[in-house]
Chains A and B, each alone.
Chain A
Amino acid sequence: DTGVSQDPRHKITKRGQNVTFRCDPISEHNRLYWYRQTLGQGPEFLTYFQNEAQLEKSRLLSDRFSAERPKGSFSTLEIQRTEQGDSAMYLCASSLDINMLQGQTQYFGPGTRLLVL
């Protein structure tokens, strides 16, 4: 399977614990994105990387959230001291940087569903 993969698919944790999610993008894609989706809403942008550089972070991304892409390949998203409001689907996507005028299709993984008790 050469698509975007995410691990784990589901995570249940207790409030106050730290969690880390992993995303493996399509291998030749240089851009990687993290989104969060809550029930009944569309995904919300969290952050994105071009290669290993984190170029933008949403205001939604509090200090408890950190994302890395150390070698420009896979990425991790860590949430420290989880809160019940962090319960959501965390989606990862990747794309190939091309002419902006042509648009960029982002290819998504299946997501990690987080439940904070």
Chain B
Amino acid sequence: ILNVEQSPQSLHVQEGDSTNFTCSFPSSNFYALHWYRWETAKSPEALFVMTLNGDEKKKGRISATLNTKEGYSYLYIKGSQPEDSATYLCAEGDSNYQLIWGAGTKLIIKP
């Protein structure tokens, strides 16, 4: 059974500051690591899918890194803006393409 954990559970960040949070996952039988952003009343939005150790992905001010040997991924947001307020979820994809999810990090950007 996979167990994906995210920290912190919630985070308040001043507008303009940069921030990061963590996703940890079992490193055995790794297939893929996904990051999603979920805003209230909207669909979860795919940010990144990463499969290789050392992968780094970037999308605008958001980037992510992957370490499959130690079982963690970091999500970074540079120069936080109010529209970044959302819950950020990570999920590990297993061999059957099922996603095993963390509980998310709720990010609140203070103007």
Binding site for B on A (CB under 8 A): 3-4, 31, 33, 35, 40-45, 48, 55-56, 91, 95, 100-111
B44 cross-chain contacts in A, Cβ below 8 A: 43, 91, 108
A41 cross-chain contacts in B, Cβ below 8 A: 103
A48 cross-chain contacts in B, Cβ below 8 A: 96-98
A110 cross-chain contacts in B, Cβ below 8 A: 41-43
In whole Å, how far is B33's beta carbon from the nearest beta carbon of chain A? Answer: 8
From A45, A56, A105, give the contact of B46 (CB < 8 A): A105
From B32, B41, B99, give the contact of A43 (CB < 8 A): B99
B102 cross-chain contacts in A, Cβ below 8 A: 42
* Structural contact, A44 and B101, CB atoms closer than 8 A: yes
Binding site for A on B (CB under 8 A): 4, 31-32, 34, 36, 41-46, 49-51, 89, 91, 93, 95-104
Known: A56-B96, A103-B50. A42 touches B103 (CB 8 A): yes
Closest 5 CB pairs of A and B: A42-B101, A103-B32, A103-B49, A108-B44, A108-B43
From B43, B46, B51, give the contact of A111 (CB < 8 A): B43
* Structural contact, B51 and A106, CB atoms closer than 8 A: no
* Cα(A101)–Cα(B83), bound, Å: 32
* Structural contact, B31 and A100, CB atoms closer than 8 A: yes
* Cα(A103)–Cα(B51), bound, Å: 6
From A3, A56, A104, give the contact of B43 (CB < 8 A): A3
Residue of A nearest to B104 (CB): A42
In whole Å, how far is A37's beta carbon from the nearest beta carbon of chain B? Answer: 8
* Structural contact, A43 and B101, CB atoms closer than 8 A: yes
